[in-house]
Structure 1
Amino acid sequence: MRKLVVSEWLALDGVFDSNTMDQWFHPFESDERAAYIQEGVLTSDIFLFGRVTYEMLAPIWSQAKNNEMGIVDKMNSMAKYVVSSEPLNIPWENTTRLQGNLLEEVSRLKQEPGQDIRIAGSATLVHSLMPSGLIDEYRFLVHPILMGNGKRFFKEGKGASRLQLIHTETLSKGVVLLCYQPNKPDTPVNTL
């Protein structure tokens, strides 16, 4: 059975806006961070995207041919499922548009043998899956900068979701990896 892993890159205040990555993401580049990103892709065999994230990434990665960052060959060959009510305008090898019942489709993919299913970006998709109990893990790569404004991953009005911290790691330049699992109803909550 596969795990469904949400993998996000954020500024400390939750900004994950791709238009401002030159301010909150690129200045914190390091070999450690690159190795973490590479490992995440190499331990997955399905990407699940919302349409906006897919249409942002497809033109870049589908045209890369020199296995940049050690992940391009894997990204181009792995299955990609896109949740979209609209047709996809940008082709990317091994892409399928999910049009049926999202929860049933994701549950079916999780039941198949294989590596992790990875969601990157795609905040609207993640928010729609959170109440379903299908998400197994959240991995946040938090960068030490407060942007003050920009598109935030978590929006107001979504309600509380309790998470259990399962792993932390400090990378160079102050970047922190925070890994959480959703609290199961019978899991005691550690309150410090």
Structure 2
Amino acid sequence: MTLSLNMFLSLDGVMQAPGSADEDMSGGFERGGWLVPHMTTDVSQTVTGWFAKGDSLLLGRGTYEMLQPFWELVTDPDDPVAYAFNHLPKYLVSSTVVSPTWHNTKVLAGDLLSAVAGLRGRRGEVQVHGSYRLARALHDAGLVDEYRLLVFPVVVGGGKRLFDMGAAPSGFRLIESETLDSGALHLRLQPIPFGTADHGNGRTGRNT
């Protein structure tokens, strides 16, 4: 199994509530929906490409409970994102949810790192989307194999960040970069030891 983080980030590293004003107002966050003006066909195609690589999903409770009410009502068989959320196996990291109602969900309770280690014997790719605390914990534990980041040309100024004070140091090797027509930058990165120089042969896409 490989594990990937698939994230929307602002230029200043914020990942909180990209899609709507009321998506996640925790901590008094009032700048939700910052991604919306930059949502283009290119962005949608990039995200669809992410989901096409996945064999299962690993989600934190907050993100899971935010996604379920919307996506389980999207029944279009030709919508690849809806298909992924509704049909791929979902692993929910939670100490409070006992009987999840979203189809094909298994709760991972107890020690997170042990639970993720148990998934590593499986084949394919498990993807994390959103899930702030979970993503940070996996990064800090060195369990992420690939980071797929869409970085949008906007500074939010505050909110939850993937990499914040106290994040585990890491270097990265660029696998691929592409500038989309919205101005967003799509990056694919693999972690390498902190302080290691690896210029690699990262493939650049159009408009770069």
**TM-score, normalized by the shorter chain, greater than 0.5:** yes
* Structure 2: 5+ residue stretches without partners: 22-30, 200-208
CA distance in 2, matches of 1:118, 1:3: 8
CA distance in 2, matches of 1:39, 1:97: 26
Q: Which residue of 2 aligns with 1:38?
A: 48
Q: Secondary structure at the match of 2:182?
A: helix
Change in CA separation of 1:102 and 1:69 when aligned onto 2, cut-off 3 Å: same
Question: Does 1:109 find its partner at 2:129?
Answer: no
- Structure number with the bigger relative contact order (C-alpha 8 A, sep ≥ 6) is 1
Q: Secondary structure at the match of 2:163?
A: coil
Query: Are the aligned partners of 2:109 and 2:115 in contact in 1 as well (CA < 8 Å)?
Result: no
Q: Which residue of 2 aligns with 1:189?
A: 197
CA distance in 2, matches of 1:113, 1:90: 24
The two structures, once aligned, show a CA RMSD in angstroms of: 2.2
Q: Which residue of 2 aligns with 1:123?
A: 132
- Percent identical among aligned pairs is 34
Query: Are the aligned partners of 1:110 and 1:117 in contact in 2 as well (CA < 8 Å)?
Result: no
CA distance in 2, matches of 1:155, 1:164: 20
CA distance in 2, matches of 1:151, 1:31: 26
Q: Secondary structure at the match of 1:40?
A: helix
Query: Are the aligned partners of 2:152 and 2:184 in contact in 1 as well (CA < 8 Å)?
Result: yes
Change in CA separation of 1:105 and 1:40 when aligned onto 2, cut-off 3 Å: same
Count of aligned pairs: 187
Change in CA separation of 1:39 and 1:21 when aligned onto 2, cut-off 3 Å: farther
1:139 to 138, 143, 148: 148
Q: Which residue of 2 aligns with 1:163?
A: 172
Higher helix share: 1
**Cα drift, residue 94 of structure 1:** 0.6
Q: Which residue of 2 aligns with 1:47?
A: 57
